[in-house]
Structure 1
């Protein structure tokens, strides 16, 4: 059975020893330090139960791949097929009749106070307190198609925020459409949901995809929705918090800096201002935090499995003998891709490299290996690169292609985003097609050899 809500997932993490409770005061300005410590010591999720507000703050829910597997209720052997099956079988959401848990407490007008929430300033160089794990629910103003996505929100006052929405992301496109149509954009920020929704945000789909249906497919059951109080937006009925807002597209402020997924600070820049129109939450709600910055942090793990699955699904349409894909969390996920395949003809690996380079993921490094190489093993991949390649004939470099978002090494970071270009490198680390190659030196039958002395190690 899928998780019914955020709290049930927390219960599972506690049972698995993946969530620890801190029952002593921790300042919100020290949360980042505590999470960095946790990353060095097993990467558990952490609940800061005394943080100078009345709400517990839970962080690190997506801090490693094991928690991702728990979120999908899967294991490493079956995860990719489970995600692919979910993507192929979307399930429509359902509306909840009667009062929804997320509306147990409704706060509006003068009672709205963002400072009452446990929103950390993760680093002294951040532009201020940031909501980093929140999921924005918005709609295309022309078609009404809903979108969910992760966007950062800087707290400006008790009832105003600024946020960063790239123009090529769906929320950014929805905002641009609203401005063109003369419609005031309204949306909702949801915090504390079934973790599948957080992973759904990362799936690469076309703009007219109903993300609630994608989430239902991945979850294996429909998402239960309820209508917001001050805007025409539907949100998950069991959300811990819902922050409803309207955007003033004519007003901008300097937003940032914040350590981004590349591991570098993005400089402050002008961004829109949004006014909070309502905050609703469950009784005794739980807030959520998420540390961004130098890999590997939570946002890298969030992207990894959805990117791998959707990228595999796309490439296999043209190249059916592709076996596995790994996008490296340590390289910001989309910048480093390893693909294993059985070549059907000479040069096919190069075709895959060029197709990967031209995808929306925009990888900087694309490495193709044979199926005997574990794409998730750095040592396997490095072995293939060392002994199955000759750089003068197996390396492709393509210049003047669209840059990946927020890459600090691009040609001129001061250019507007649509004008930024970069280069990409592809490495064919497969054995030459149709030609003899040296035999692998290994010990056959070792998997079945009994060594009880090693049990428990």
Structure 2
């Protein structure tokens, strides 16, 4: 059975020693981020900050490493891509929650709305202010009414106003652009504290016409239970910890940013639309959620990686069935550096696969194709293939004027170039055998197990 809500997942993490309570006072300004960065650096646990200056505990780092991501998916490295692909290919529609929704046990409207009472951290020294980084935005296409859920950032301006940013090629950004052009109101809801499969579904790469609640249901293997928002016609997850309802105000533009982003660099500040909060609802003993962003590897990279890999792998395998694995590296922001494992069926097929990856909405700068004997997640093996299976003059090529990844700090006026590297052995040509010790992986050597 899927995790019903955030609390069920937290219970599993506690039982696995993957969640630790911090019971001493920790400041929301910088110190939360310092603690998360330190735990992440040693592959440590998620952290629950019990004393953060507000009445709500703050949990963060839930998906701070791939180990916890696999726990969330109830999967292993061997089965994870198949698990996600199966979910994508078997969507399940949402259902209406019967009865009063847990996410609306406490309702705050009008003068009772106060964002400053929430434990919203300031993560980096040059950030424009406190940021909600773990919020999942629910919005609808103004033309079609199709709902989108996605992970977007919000800067806290004051007690009732947030700064809004979404890259223009993302669905929330497109929804805002359409609403502004048509001069209609765009309502949204920030969902905070939700079951892990719904959180991961936000990262699945799918068409703009897709109803994301069906994608989330497919990953969960069960319908998402929804309830009506209070101040709009949107539907929101009934078991969320917090719902922040808002309407976008394109006429009230305020300075938003900087923020340390997934590239590892600050995005510069600029005037952007605001979100005027119309209601805050939450569970009686609600848990707020944070998420560290910045120089890889941080939690947002882990959150993106598995859904990105599985959905792009699915797209590529439809054209190249001998592709067996893909790594969209965290060091490249889970965006610009891609390694693909495939067994080419004919000369030049690896190059075709590289071009297909470049044409995907990842917009990678680097695409490397290796053979299945190479572990795409081990840089030493990929570098070995690049060192001894590549003739740079023949196997390396550059495609100019390609689309740039969102927020890339180093582009040529909005576009870039991409490098393809065919690190497969030459097709149909004799090549030396690999020198490797056979069966060492299964060799029993208890002397080095250190008592385990």
- In 1, distance between residues paired with 2:98 and 2:18? 35
Q: 1:79 maps to what in 2?
A: 80
- In 2, distance between residues paired with 1:194 and 1:305? 16
Q: 2:95 maps to what in 1?
A: 94
Single out whichever of 429-438 and 177-186 deviates more from structure 2: 177-186
Q: 1:288 maps to what in 2?
A: 289
Tell whether the 8 Å contact from 1:59 to 1:288 is kept in structure 2 after alignment: yes
Q: 1:182 maps to what in 2?
A: 183
Single out whichever of 177-186 and 214-223 deviates more from structure 2: 177-186
Q: 1:109 maps to what in 2?
A: 110
- In 2, distance between residues paired with 1:40 and 1:317? 37
Tell whether the 8 Å contact from 1:47 to 1:59 is kept in structure 2 after alignment: yes
Q: Which of 419, 426, 445 matches 1:425?
A: 419
Single out whichever of 180-189 and 253-262 deviates more from structure 2: 180-189
Confirm or deny that 1:216 pairs with 2:217.
Answer: yes
Q: 2:22 maps to what in 1?
A: 22
- In 2, distance between residues paired with 1:124 and 1:395? 40
- Deviation, 1:250, is 1.8
- Deviation, 1:388, is 0.5
Q: 2:384 maps to what in 1?
A: 383
- Deviation, 1:289, is 0.6
Q: Which of 440, 444, 452 matches 2:434?
A: 440
- In 1, distance between residues paired with 2:143 and 2:407? 29
Q: 2:4 maps to what in 1?
A: 4
Scaled by the length of structure 2, the TM-score of the pair is 0.98
Q: 2:121 maps to what in 1?
A: 120
Counterpart of 2:331 in 1: which secondary structure? helix
Which residues of structure 2 form unaligned runs of 5+? none
Counterpart of 1:205 in 2: which secondary structure? coil
- Deviation, 1:448, is 3.4
- In 2, distance between residues paired with 1:445 and 1:125? 52
Tell whether the 8 Å contact from 2:43 to 2:65 is kept in structure 1 after alignment: no
- CA deviations 1:274-328 (Å, max 9, x no partner) are 1100000001100011110000001100110011001011111111111100110
- In 1, distance between residues paired with 2:149 and 2:402? 28
Which residues of structure 1 form unaligned runs of 5+? 413-419
Counterpart of 2:75 in 1: which secondary structure? coil
Q: 2:332 maps to what in 1?
A: 331
- Deviation, 1:42, is 2.5
- In 1, distance between residues paired with 2:217 and 2:5? 13
Tell whether the 8 Å contact from 1:43 to 1:60 is kept in structure 2 after alignment: no
Instruction: State the Cα RMSD in Å.
Output: 1.0
Alignment map for 1:231-380 (pairs within 5 Å): 231-380=232-381
- In 1, distance between residues paired with 2:249 and 2:299? 30
Question: How many residues are paired up?
Answer: 450
- In 2, distance between residues paired with 1:82 and 1:205? 17
Counterpart of 2:185 in 1: which secondary structure? coil
Q: 1:415 maps to what in 2?
A: none
- Deviation, 1:453, is 2.1
Counterpart of 1:368 in 2: which secondary structure? strand
- Deviation, 1:454, is 2.9
Counterpart of 2:21 in 1: which secondary structure? strand
Q: 2:195 maps to what in 1?
A: 194
Tell whether the 8 Å contact from 2:40 to 2:65 is kept in structure 1 after alignment: no
- In 1, distance between residues paired with 2:308 and 2:227? 29
- Deviation, 1:449, is 2.8
Scaled by the length of structure 1, the TM-score of the pair is 0.97
- In 1, distance between residues paired with 2:35 and 2:439? 46
Counterpart of 1:28 in 2: which secondary structure? coil
- In 2, distance between residues paired with 1:43 and 1:257? 28
- Deviation, 1:165, is 1.1
- In 2, distance between residues paired with 1:200 and 1:134? 13
- Deviation, 1:195, is 1.1
- Deviation, 1:181, is 2.6
Q: 2:229 maps to what in 1?
A: 228
